[in-house]
Structure 1
Amino acid sequence: MRFLLSSALSTALAVGLAGCTPSPPAQTSNGTAGQPADPAAEADPASGSGQGTVTIAGDDAAEDIQQWTPPRVDRQGRTLAQLRRAAEQAFAQGHLYEDGDAAVPLWLAVQEEEPDDRQARQGLQRAKQKLLQQADALLQRPLQQREALAEAGRQALVLLTLAPKDEKVRALQGRVETAQRVVAYNRAGEDDLRADRIGEAGDGAIGNFREALALDPNNRRARQGLAAAESGLIRRAEDAARIRDFASAGAWLAEASKVRDSSPTIADAFERIEQIRAAALVQLRDGGLHDLTTPQGLKPAREKLAEALRIALPGDAVVAQLRERIELATHYGSFRPGQVFSDALRDGGRGPQMIVVPHGGFQMGASDTEPGATDAERPSHYVRFERGYAMAITEITVGDFERYVKATNARPRATRRGHSVVYDERSGNFIRRSGVDWRSDYDGGRALGNSPVMHVSVRDAENYATWLSEQTGRSYRLPSEAEFEYAMRAGSSGRYPWGDAGLPPEGSGNYTGSKDVSPSGRHWHNAFVGYGDGWWGPAPVASFQANGFGLHDMGGNLSEWVADCWHASYRRAPADGVAWFNPGCRSRVIRGGNWANAPEQTRAAWRQSQDSDTTSARIGFRLVRGI
């Protein structure tokens, strides 16, 4: 019988059966069990070693024991009568099978010469009964389980050789194997606990103890092991809370709650962690209020507020008090350039991770001499932001968008229409394909949760922003063209988002490169020569380096919807960077290159008109938030 066990369990079983072989099996080069390392174990049983052997085979040698080979009996100068008397004497002394002078090998030797020998047959029957009794007693021994199981295992192997079809023998073999596996799983679980491998993902200590309980539901040792594992996870939760990492504390406590059903220790631990959180928030609030009474106290007060927001649950009154006092004192938000945050949602989750873009000014658009530029990108004009704004660090993901769809029962444009534009590997073209919507990847397959959401129209993006605003009580929206280009350039003024170099820096983004290869071996005809990013199609968000403002994929991966209506040039464009929007317009703007754009379309000033109902494998979006 073959069992698929963990390596720790295999080792434990091998130890449990060590009495049957001179040494554990050596591992051969092809991964199957080899011969024992001990020269005595390698010897032929007929060579005179006088020891019994255990034959093993298969990929799981320690678990795939086939039979017991009786030790060699020295028959030289001994008659059958002498062998019978020796067997009876050995049986009377309880010397049943261990070596060539034991009762079972002697009776088997008699049977070799006289197959119908009645005394030998009866003797072997008595030995079988005796071994069954001894093995049963060993299995019920509460202490020294390893030694008892090892001995019971050896006896079961002897019995299998004597009576392989006997139901009692087969039942004993099953009990021995089960008991050995339970002990091995428990030992492996205890080893994992000592090494802090608790196994919250289902492996490690928890997995081993659960395997033991699956075999023996009332096993006390395994139940105690699960209780210890639960305590270990609770300890991690409380340790995290003490350093104000309440997200990890909650995660560890959630894992601990899965270990045992209805454990009262979880509720107690939750109360302790919430007491730690409450004390930390009061300390931060009191410290922030004191900071505001000092001449230079605004910065430390803001820092305390940020820390309180990070660890507080949504709607916490203590945090709200501190935030209100700071806003009243400064008439300005409690943020700083480069600060990363995410707003709490009313449903208990968190919004997209945002980063505060510093205020400042830049020259928007393309110069008259820029290669590849069009009139739609001119005239170049100066735009200044008097106040910073927060922008999503990455494109909105499939997972982000799924939360909105489920919460509102929304039916985005491609879902209602039943199709979208995808890349077709067979033809190498973009085609319209049925059954594709926001859940789909660039080729129509299922998208990963951390992939940027595509196949969404500009109205789908705006509806998501409206929902997020309602959830957080903050103002989320699509960025204006000016906000997008300013954030994409991140202080640079070159032709491309990274500057004037004609080749993207290694690892800077998902662009069309000559080294990129499609699943069927296609290459781009118009690409950055010598560049490759390892992706044919959009990559998961934040797969590449962030730009100088801490934003990912602004110039590549997916082009992105912005709030502006399409205008054929920048004549009379707003100078303060707000969206240039005309109510009722159908042609909207996308900005930023994508995974399937020509190099000219990856320029920082590139812009393109799209119908507002367009959905495609090349267009996604991100949001900004006022601060």
Structure 2
Amino acid sequence: MRFREPGLRSILVAALLCALVLAGCRDEPVASQVEIGDGSVTISGDDAVVAALNWTPPAVTLPAEDPEAALVQAGEALAADDLYATADSAIPLYLGLASVPGYERASARGLQRAQARLLELGAQALVEVDTLDSAAGMRAAHEFAAVARYLAPGDPAVVAYLERVDQADRLRELNRAAERALQAGDLGESGGGALALFRQVLAERPGQPRAMQGMAAVESAMIRRAELAAEAADYRLASEWLTHAADIRPGFPTVEDARRRLEGVRAAHVRRLRDEGVDALPRINGVSVARARLAQIIAIAEPGDPVANDLRERIDRAVHYGDFRPGQVFTDALEGGARGPQMIVLPHGGFMMGALPGDDDAADNERPRHGVRFERGFAMGVREVSVGEFRRFVDATGYQSRAMRRGFSMAYDERTGNFLRRSNVDWRSDYVGRPAGDTMPVLHVSAKDAQAYVDWLSAQSGHRYRLPSEAEFEYAFRSGSSERFPWGEGTPPEGTGNMTGALDRSPSGRRWGNAFPDYGDGYWGPAPTGAFRPNSWGVHDLAGNVSEWMADCWHENYRRAPEDGSAWINPGCRNQVIRGGSWASSPAQTRASWRALAQVDTTNARLGFRVVREL
């Protein structure tokens, strides 16, 4: 729509607005009269509320012999939105016809339609003011208001429109003041400033686009200040700015995204300092350098930051103890600059291996219960080996897994609820045979595939990696306890792991027939590695997610089993032990002592593996 600005109209608007501003600056209602041409406008306390300005219809001369032509002309002008600007516009013509005998009703109907269209165009102008800060739109809205007030000052629709014009004036000035404050850097994090002004607009007009954009700009400015603080390594100040920004638009992800980004910057900075400290430790005066890096970390990290604690403990060990300590998490460097799986050092010690007395779910192959002692600690994978980690091995070696060579594996079938043979399913696939993400545990791998991976990992790192012995697995699973389940008995606590729960549902609504009551983990199928909290020794998913290959050959019981925790291996064995419940295992198969056999070439959607590293 094009807003008309006839003749001296802009001069009239400017003069009247000046009068309005002068009247509005008084504490009490004021009445004054401004002479403009042959008309006048009176501005009082009440008039200022609606920001009205007068309109005088242009003089219209109607042909006495043909008023019908004037009526037709008025209708055409109305259709063309030529409402009031000249003597040939619709409203002046209809006003002129009002005094012609016999045309009073036609005039009234025409004026009614013209008034409705006038208010409609005024509403459009106010939308333009809201969204584009249009000066032309604001002038047009005022002109429409003046004409509407002339036509029907007491009409409820006109009064409502005049109030909207007045509100648009107020909000426009508030927005402008807020934007000036924003440009000046007065954001208002401590009160006042741009933030308070934009909020004042939104209190009166919730969702007003210009104010909403202004709020987003204030939020963006605060985030930028947080980024600048982070660049200067002042992460506490950065956090303060993000806290201010978070109060501006609750529910929007912008601040949390920035927080994660800056936390990533801080975490990278902390890790870099830690790595510099660790690298310095073996060198001359390395402890002094490492202590200086630790002081820098403490200055920028949150209290209790695990990376700071790690460097502190490394310094203590370098001074007093030497290499590893229980609970230490590490990754080994591989050729080409990559890192191996994340490992955690488990303590040396002893435990009673096998089924507990009175365990009705235990099979004979879980007995006799016997003592095992580890004279030396060992490192275990914090998580199951992921698809991405296995992919690195395959890309480096061109290895062809068992399922790839034979062209199939056992995958879950949602239609039947069973595990069925499916073609073109291998380590790259998920539990139903679709492409698997890199953070998912690798499935569809045989014991020989797992062994090939640990052999490659050993060659890459220069350290001995292998599959766990089942004694090591149960030792880590129990993590110092002597219960059937890691949590004791009954329903697992929320977030324990990916196991069969009565609250779990498959994509088509299937339920488990034998499950932990009142438990659900949100997954039907494996979860990404490490998605649930670790056990007390820092190892994830030993009780659930996927069952895992052990290094041991299968034996029917523990008679003559090694007492030092090593794997019980017979050369050339065709069956190996699997341990740990999976996402589709019954509660009985989630117990610490549960064990089962599988042929070494077995591949399916419930079976993966993790690694152990000797120290």
Q: Same fold (TM over 0.5)?
A: yes
Partner of 1:165: none
- The equivalent of 1:79 in structure 2 is 59
Report how far residue 513 of structure 1 moved.
2.5
Q: Which amino acid aligns with 2:533?
A: Q
Task: State the partner residue of 1:362.
Answer: 351
Letter in 2 for 1:239: A
Letter in 2 for 1:575: E
- CA deviations over 1:119-158 (Å, ceiling 9, x no partner): xxxxxxxxxxxxxxxxxxxxxxxxxxx9998347779999
Pair 1:190–1:431, CA change in 2 (3 A): farther
Q: Equivalent of 1:570, from 547, 550, 558? A: 558
Q: Which residue of 2 aligns with 1:150?
A: 134
Q: Which of residues 239, 245, 248 in structure 1 aligns to 2:233? A: 239
Residue 380 of structure 1 corresponds to 369
Question: What displacement does 1:80 show?
Answer: 3.5
Task: Give the equivalent residue in structure 2 for 1:466.
Answer: 455
Q: How many Å apart are 1:361 and its aligned residue? A: 0.4
Q: CA deviation at 1:73?
A: 5.9
- Report the CA distance shift for 1:377/1:101 in structure 2 as closer, same or farther (over 3 A): closer
User: Given residue 324 of structure 2, which amino acid in structure 1 is its aligned partner?
Assistant: F
1:605, CA displacement in angstroms? 1.2
Which residue does the alignment assign to 1:451? 440
Same amino acid, percent of matched pairs: 50
* Alpha-carbon distance between aligned partners in 1 of 2:282 and 2:89, rounded to the nearest angstrom: 87
The alignment covers a number of residue pairs equal to 426
8 Å contact from structure 1 (residues 73, 109) kept in 2: no
Q: Which residue of 1 aligns with 2:36?
A: none
How has the CA–CA distance of structure 1 residues 466 and 153 changed in structure 2, closer, same or farther, with 3 Å as cutoff?
farther
Deviation at 1:417, TM superposition (A): 2.2
1:365-388 per-position Cα deviation (integer Å, ceiling 9, x unaligned): 125643222222222221111111
Paired residue secondary structure (1:376): helix
Displacement, 1:543?
2.8
| Deviations, residues 585-612 of structure 1 (Å, cap 9, x unaligned) | 2211100111212222222111111111
CA contact (8 A) 1:396 1:622 kept: yes
Q: Secondary structure at the match of 2:592?
A: coil
Question: Which one of the candidate residues 537, 540, 544 is aligned to 2:532?
Answer: 544
RMSD between superposed Cα atoms in Å: 5.7
Write the distance in 1 (CA, Å) between the matches of 2:610 and 2:86: 80
What does the per-residue CA deviation read over 1:181-231, in whole Å, with 9 as the maximum and x for residues that have no partner? xxxxx99x99999899xxxxxxxxxxxxxxxxxxxxxxxxxxxxx9x9999
Bigger Cα displacement from structure 2, 416-425 vs 466-475: 466-475
Match of 1:335 among 311, 317, 324: 324
Change (3 A) 1:190 1:470: farther
Taking the aligned partners of 1:503 and 1:557, their CA distance within structure 2 comes to 17
Once the two structures are superposed, the pairs formed by residues 157-196 of structure 1 within 5 Å of their partners are none
CA contact (8 A) 1:512 1:595 kept: yes
What pairs with 1:122-521 in structure 2 (closer than 5 Å)?
A: 150-151=134-135, 236=230, 239=233, 289=286, 334-367=323-356, 369-499=358-488, 501-521=489-509
Q: Distance in 2 between matches of 1:149 and 1:485?
A: 70
Q: Is 1:554 aligned to 2:542, yes or no?
A: yes
Give the Cα separation in 1 of the matches to 2:228 and 2:603. Answer: 47
Aligned equivalents of 1:368, 1:325: Cα separation in 2: 43
Give the distance between the partners of 1:478 and 1:343, measured in 2 at CA: 17
Aligned pair in 2 of structure 1 residues 482, 73: CA closer, same or farther (>3 Å)? same
Within 1, Cα distance between the matches of 2:271 and 2:348?
Answer: 38
Indicate if the aligned counterparts of 2:468 and 2:611 stay in contact, CA closer than 8 A.
Answer: yes
Aligned residue for 1:596?
584
Structure 2: which amino acid aligns with 1:439?
R
Instruction: Report the alpha carbon displacement of residue 527 of structure 1 after superposing the two structures with TM.
Output: 2.4
2-structure distance, mates of 1:623, 1:105: 92
Whole-angstrom CA distance in 2 between matches of 1:556 and 1:150: 62
Instruction: Indicate how the Cα distance of structure 1 residues 582 and 276 shifts in structure 2: closer, same or farther if over 3 A, else same.
Output: closer
1:610 aligns to what? 598
Alpha-carbon spacing, 1:155–1:277, altered in 2? closer, same or farther (3 Å): farther
- The one-letter code sitting in structure 1 at the alignment partner of 2:233 is D
SS in 2 for 1:564: strand
Q: Greater shift after overlay, 441-450 or 545-554?
A: 441-450
TM-score (norm 2): 0.55
Amino acid paired to 1:449: D
Residues 513 and 274 from structure 1, CA distance in 2 versus in 1: closer, same or farther, beyond 3 angstroms?
closer
Q: Give the superposition deviation at 1:531.
A: 3.2
Structure 2 residue identity aligned to 1:475: R
Q: Deviations over 1:9-33 (max 9, x none)?
A: xxxxxxxxxx9xxxxxxxxxxxxxx
Shift of the 414–381 alpha-carbon distance from structure 1 to 2, 3 Å rule, reads same
CA 1:278–1:156 in structure 2 vs 1: closer, same or farther (change >3 Å)?
Answer: farther
Three-state SS of the structure 1 residue aligned to 2:405 is helix
Q: Is the 8 A contact 2:378 2:612 kept in 1?
A: yes
Q: Distance in 2 between matches of 1:459 and 1:624?
A: 16
How far apart are the structure 1 equivalents of 2:186 and 2:388? 34
Contact 2:548 / 2:578 at 8 angstroms: preserved in 1?
yes
How big is each residue's C-alpha offset from its partner over 1:160-192, in whole Å with a ceiling of 9 and x where there is no partner?
xxxxxxxxxxxxxxxxxxxxxxxxxx99x9999
1:355 offset after TM fit, Å?
1.4
What residue in structure 2 maps to residue 267 of structure 1? none
Aligned to 2:26: none
Which residue pairs with 2:156 in the alignment? Answer: none
Using the TM superposition, give the Cα deviation of residue 475 of structure 1 relative to its aligned residue in structure 2, in angstroms.
2.3
Q: Please give the per-residue CA displacement for 1:61-115, whole angstroms capped at 9, x wherever unaligned.
A: xxxxxxxxxx99643xx53479xxxxxxxxxxxxxxxxx999679767679899x
Return the letter of the residue paired with 1:339. Q
The CA deviation at 1:615 is 0.9
Equivalents in 1 of 2:382, 2:276: separation in Å?
Answer: 32
Moved more, 278-287 or 405-414: 278-287
Would you say the 8 A contact 1:364–1:485 is kept in 2? Answer: yes
- Offset, 1:577: 0.9
Which amino acid letter does the alignment assign opposite residue 538 of structure 1?
P
Q: CA deviation at 1:584?
A: 2.3
Long gaps (5+) in structure 1: 2-18, 20-48, 50-70, 83-99, 115-145, 159-185, 197-225, 244-251, 257-271, 293-299, 312-322
Change (3 A) 1:103 1:372: closer
Q: 1:416 to 1:110 in 2, by over 3 A?
A: farther
Q: In the TM superposition, what are the counterparts of 1:48-87 in structure 2 within 5 Å?
A: 74-75=56-57, 78-80=58-60
SS at the partner of 1:561? strand
d(CA) in 2 for partners of 1:473, 1:105: 96
Structure 2 CA distance for partners of 1:403 and 1:240, relative to 1, 3 Å: farther
Equivalent pair of 1:367/1:379 in contact (CA under 8 Å): no
Q: Which has the higher Rg, Structure 1 or Structure 2?
A: 2
Task: State how far apart, in whole Å, the 2-side matches of 1:496 and 1:274 are.
Answer: 36
Shift of 1:425: 1.4
- 1:278–1:596 Cα change, 3 Å: closer
> 1:363 is aligned with what amino acid?
M
- Counterpart CA distance in 1 for 2:526 and 2:418 is 16
Aligned residues of 1:347 and 1:471 also touching (Cα < 8 A): no
